[in-house]
């Protein structure tokens, strides 16, 4: 959505803010435009959904520059979280579990989410749910990083899985 400036603004009354962020109160569109033009600046509608809409008197180029700068900073701060996957079976040995837990701890440290999957083949799919959860918990107890369960135990096409992420 693009901001409306000067004559594009449709509202009859606006709450006007000057370039020093001082509230000038509610003015008619005509008065606000005259005030902006007398200062050689633009009238920019920054909050069209407010009642009355909020407009700011400032240079439009400067406004776009600051908005772009803010957007880039927010984009740089946002990191993509990837869902990493670890698969174990009912008979996975303790040493293998320790290795996978070490990998999971590293991923949690990096901020990734982890899907821990208990692969069930054949008859194992019909085993007691409590027993299967205990098998998954064996790995979860070995993870050294603090984590929280973001998606509890669920049945999937390959077996039982749980999703964890780093606790804040």
Total domains in the fold of the chain: 2
Residues 88 and 71 placed together within one structural domain of the fold: no
Residue 24 lies in a domain: yes
Q: What percent of the chain has pLDDT over 90?
A: 9
Instruction: Report if residue 1 sits inside a domain.
Output: no
The DSSP output letter for 90 is T
Domain of 88? 83-166
The torsion region of residue 58 among left (phi > 0), alpha (psi -120 to 50) and beta comes to beta
What DSSP line would sit under 10-78, residue for residue? --SEEEEE-TT--EEEEEEHHHHHHHHHHTT-EEEEEETTSSSPEEEEE-HHHHHHHHHHHHHHHHHH-
> Which 3 state secondary structure label does DSSP give 98?
helix
Helix (H) / strand (E) element for 95: namely helix 94-110
Q: How confident is the model at residue 102 (pLDDT cuts 50, 70, 90)?
A: very high
22 and 93 in a common domain:
no
Task: Give the tokens for residue 16.
Answer: 């006007």
Say whether both 87 and 65 belong to one domain. Answer: no
Do 17 and 69 fall into the same domain? yes
Give per-residue pLDDT as tens, 38-63: 888 888 888 888 888 888 888 888 88
Residue 63 and residue 105 in one domain? no
Among residues 49, 52, 142, the alpha carbon closest in space to that of 102 is found at 142
pTM of the model: 0.52
């Amino acid at each position: 959505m693009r901001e409306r400036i000067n004559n594009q603004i449709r509202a009859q009354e606006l709450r006007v803010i000057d370039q020093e962020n001082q509230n000038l109160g509610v003015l008619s569109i005509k008065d606000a435009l005259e005030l902006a033009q007398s200062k050689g600046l633009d009238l920019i509608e920054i909050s069209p959904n407010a009642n009355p809409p909020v407009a700011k008197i400032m240079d439009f180029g400067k406004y776009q520059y600051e908005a772009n700068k803010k957007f880039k900073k927010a984009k740089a701060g946002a990191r993509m979280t990837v869902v990493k996957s670890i698969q174990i079976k009912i008979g996975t040995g303790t040493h293998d579990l320790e290795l996978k837990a070490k990998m999971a701890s590293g991923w949690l440290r990096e901020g990734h989410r982890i899907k821990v999957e208990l692969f069930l083949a054949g008859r194992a799919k019909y085993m007691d749910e409590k027993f299967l959860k205990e098998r998954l918990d064996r790995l979860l107890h070995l993870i050294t990083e603090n984590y929280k369960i973001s998606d509890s135990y669920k049945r999937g096409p390959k077996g039982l899985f749980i999703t964890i992420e780093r606790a804040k």
